[in-house]
Amino acid sequence: MVSSSPKLDPTQAALKETLLTPRFYITDFDAAAKLDLSSQEAELQAVLEQMRTDYNRNHFVRDESFNASWDHISGDDREAFIDYLERSCVSEFSGFLLFKELSRRLHGKHAVLSELFKLMARDEARHAGFINKAMGDFNRTLDLGRLTHERTYTFFPLPWVIYSVYLSEKIGYWRYILIHRHLEAHPEHQFYPLFQYFKPWCQDENRHGDIFKVLLRSQTSMWKGWKARFWSRFFLLSVFATHTLTVHERKGFYYALGIDPTEFDAEVIRQTNSTAARAFPSVLDVDSPEFMNRLHHCSDLNLKLTEISGSDAPNWLKVLKKLPLQLGIAGHLARLMFLPSIDAEAVRATVR
């Protein structure tokens, strides 16, 4: 039996930003206060009532199944799982901070939106806290207060926030529900009780995505015209590329669950793209053989970048070695960005 991992400082690691680490965002709060949501009034009231109901208020409570030793999760599997928990916690906490600040800034200016963001912040805080407690089972916890004050915040214009958060919530839904379904069919791979909470978890993600769909569809400029089609493809590709690179960086975690990471990644992307077609004017042709092949090439290049970063070479040499790999990733992504896309508005029109 392997002893518990030595106590490290995960907060210090979480303060370091890389291409794939979840970021903390701020946005144009005045623009949010001026949003006209009248075209989506019925949908807005429906999602608000769902959030007020708080279906998962009693779900995220640790039970006796957590009262065990987790030393049997050891070696690379242990580190891969802790990394998964850490990134997930930072991602949920990032959402909490953004939603909380939006709620505060919109108070007295846009009552419905202020309440919606307050309720979403409630969910994200619940998720982040629950994951942080799970990290404590492995002698790791994040100082979320320190992250709040010391992490760099990135400004995103409001439309970018709406596009990216919508996709973040929907891809989160598909990640959680696919893992849940897999572990239902193969309970022998459920090595930690956190996975038992993935079904209610993904329901929260789905509801949050529905809220951002309402915001997106309320703004004609976000789903009509060439700019809307460009930004739809851009954010889809950004989210999908990040997902592919992250999944393959964490492939040990997925193998521990009995999941093939490449197949899982492709299915999450396929389902998220299909879901986004209900909100976005244009989506990617993810079934094109070139699409996944190029993403896999990006993943291979990214793994080589990781090896270089972890080497003992001087920094200047690392920079030189990384440059052709980074240019290679950029080239693949540029090619994917301009592949023929799917006109989701036209597809929806034929279904009506």
- The answer to the question of residue 133 being in a domain is yes
DSSP characters over 25-43: EE--HHHHHT---GGGHHH
Tokens of 167: 């996709």
- The answer to the question of residue 128 being in a domain is yes
Tokens of 326: 């980074």
- The answer to the question of residue 190 being in a domain is yes
Structural domain for 217, as ranges: 12-35+44-58+72-275
Q: Which pLDDT does position 6 carry in this prediction?
A: 43
- The answer to the question of residue 4 being in a domain is no
> Looking at the 3D structure of the chain, how many domains does it have?
1
For residues 236-256, give the mean pLDDT: 94
Tokens of 16: 């370091």
For residues 277-302, give the mean pLDDT: 96
Pairing status of strand 153-155 against strand 24-26: parallel
- The answer to the question of residue 147 being in a domain is yes
* Across 22-31, 168-177, 180-189, least confident range: 22-31
Q: Which pLDDT does position 177 carry in this prediction?
A: 97
- The answer to the question of residue 334 being in a domain is no
Q: What does pTM read for this prediction?
A: 0.92
pLDDT for 59-98, tens place per residue? 899 999 999 999 888 888 898 899 899 999 999 999 999 9
pLDDT for 119-154, tens place per residue? 999 999 999 999 999 999 999 988 888 888 888 899
Q: Which pLDDT does position 4 carry in this prediction?
A: 40
- The answer to the question of residue 123 being in a domain is yes
* Across 11-25, 74-88, 164-178, 196-210, least confident range: 11-25
* Across 11-15, 27-31, 247-251, least confident range: 11-15
* Across 174-178, 294-298, 333-337, 345-349, least confident range: 345-349
Alpha helices in the chain (DSSP H): 10-14, 29-33, 41-53, 75-106, 111-136, 144-150, 158-185, 198-218, 226-249, 251-256, 261-276, 289-309, 315-337, 344-351
